[in-house]
Amino acid sequence: MADGPLIVQSDKSLLLEVDHPRADEARRAIAPFAELERAPEHVHTYRLTNLGLWNARAAGHDAEQVVDTLIEFSRYPVPHALLVDVAETMSRYGRLTLTSHPTHGLVLQATDKAVLAEVLKSKRTAGLVGERVDDETVVVHPSERGHLKQVLVKLGWPAEDLAGYVDGEKHPIALSPVAAPRTPDEAPKPWEMRPYQAQAVDGFWHGGSGVVVLPCGAGKTIVGAGAMAKSGTTTLILVTNTVSARQWKDELVRRTTLTEDEIGEYSGTRKEIKPVTIATYQVLTTKRKGVYSHLELLDARDWGLVVYDEVHLLPAPIFRMTADLQARRRLGLTATLVREDGREDEVFSLIGPKRYDAPWKDIEAQGYIAPADCVEVRLTLPEHDRMVYATAEPEDKYRLAATAAGKNRVVEQIVAQHPDDQVLVIGQYLDQLEELSEHLDAPLITGATTVRERQRLFDAFRSGEVTRLVVSKVANFSIDLPEASVAIQVSGSFGSRQEEAQRLGRVMRPKADGRTAHFYAVVARDTVDQDFAAHRQRFLAEQGYAYRIVDAEDLGVVK
């Protein structure tokens, strides 16, 4: 009997013994097809899901590879029924294909007549398809291409979309061999895409549409620029906020042949439509008199490529509009495909399958992101606060625990241990952040801070003029702060795994001197704050990051 690190169970759960010598090897091997569910100290629980197996199939992994991996790393014989189920689940992907017919246009074709008969029998497909061409083919209304893919995933028969794309309006875009300087004092620098960035662009382009998953700080914008250069067409880029939009613009001007005049910003303050247009999700999802008036932007040009930054955050109206954009190439960029609303299947069906996924530890090993030390600092509430918490209404408990007064003292202690580092303090509750800003004598950035003031403070932080910054969740996404080497999280969005990944990503840009990044989560012991922290850490545990747990009274153990 093999002494593997994995126990594979018939309920599709995989138990990974963390301290086993082959645990890291097994984690990397199962990552393409298994999702982490729980990550306590010694045994991590993964699960095989249909969507995970279909994503693996779309990325080029076949059932034989998955079965071989399970057998190789399993400590006990793998249940035969589970291996059969894996093979059958993966075989469901691609038995239906969307393709272009020379006389009938867009059609749904089946390699299995019974599967086609089954999905056409469903009431869900009514109105999405037209006449039967033959036993294996049915006409699809082009406007229903996205909606049909959504339905087929729900029915358990995901279609492979081979119908191709319209070319879109041509617009010359190329990567510059020399990056333009950011400041007048800086010299231009030769550069080229990192190997994994080039692989990500090739994986996306070969697949046609889909999602690229890269760690924060690994250069997702460069992957977007590479895809734009491959496409050579007008491009619509959708981003989370105005600061992110301007960072995208700066990076594109630095690293491509595009000029500032060719790039438009479509946000709350500007409404420019140019060959490359960067729009915020917020402005596109603003309703006036019950109508999403800005969605007409999508028809303003014949876009050849649509890029979705932070695709795990897509709001519902963007999903709906994406269903109508299936003839355009679509690239989703994210650090984690985890969605707290469970709509991963909509990303899969409407943006496309995962085309490239680089494990964080692999990118770290190559020196492209900083190694990170993750510490959970547990604070015991004083007796009075414990009683207030114990008798509070359920809806008030998290706020009480997350904003415990003792956290301010803990944060001050941590900051004092990093006198020479650039420190970000991140939280959710504004009154808590205002107190910390005063205690640390550090500027505060919230949603109410103007875009101009945010940019000024971020620039001051980058230059070293400001070494401490207190930020609300506006800093979760797409903020490039390579100098930050310490992040202290005092409160978060309940149990959000995606937020934890984004926040760690704030400090993972590689350091010039090779220093380790430090990520602290300050948590109130024996409260829902601790429970949510355990949930938030799941994604990072999946990437191979282990949290050290220290007592707030014993902060001297910090490295």
pLDDT (tens digit, 0 to 9) for every residue of the chain, 559 residues total? 468 999 999 999 999 998 899 998 998 899 889 987 776 668 888 899 999 999 999 888 999 999 999 999 999 999 999 999 999 999 999 899 999 999 999 999 999 999 999 999 999 999 899 999 999 999 999 989 999 999 999 999 999 999 989 989 999 999 999 988 877 777 888 999 999 999 999 999 998 899 998 887 788 999 999 999 999 999 999 998 888 899 899 999 999 999 999 999 998 888 899 999 999 988 888 877 777 778 777 777 899 999 999 888 788 888 888 888 888 999 999 887 777 677 888 989 999 999 988 777 788 788 887 777 888 899 999 999 999 999 999 889 888 988 998 999 999 999 999 998 889 898 888 999 999 999 999 999 988 888 888 888 888 888 889 999 998 876 655 456 656 788 898 887 644 556 666 666 666 666 666 778 888 989 999 898 888 787 667 667 666 676 788 888 877 534 3
Region 96-161: CATH code: 3.30.70
The CATH number corresponding to 367-557 among 3.40.50.300, 2.40.30.10, 3.30.300.30, 3.40.50.280 equals 3.40.50.300
Q: What is the pLDDT of residue 2?
A: 62
Report the distance separating Cα 133 and Cα 399, nearest Å: 59
Q: Is 285 helix (H, G, I), strand (E, B) or coil?
A: coil
284 φ, ψ to 5°? -70, -25
Q: What is the CATH number of domain 178-358?
A: 3.40.50.300
Which residue, 198, 267, 192, is CA-closest to 237? Answer: 267
Query: Using an 8 Å Cβ cutoff, are 346 and 319 in contact?
Result: yes
Specify the pLDDT at position 558. 40
The yes-or-no answer to whether 178-358 and 367-557 have a common fold is yes
Which among 235, 476, 224 is positioned nearest to 356, based on CA atoms? 224
DSSP string spanning 104-156?
TEEEEEESSHHHHHHHHHSGGGTTTEEEEEETTEEEE-GGGHHHHHHHHHHTT
Q: Where are the domains of the chain?
A: 6-92, 96-161, 178-358, 367-557
Q: What DSSP string runs through 503-516? A: HHHTT-SPPTT-PP
d(CA 358, CA 201): 12
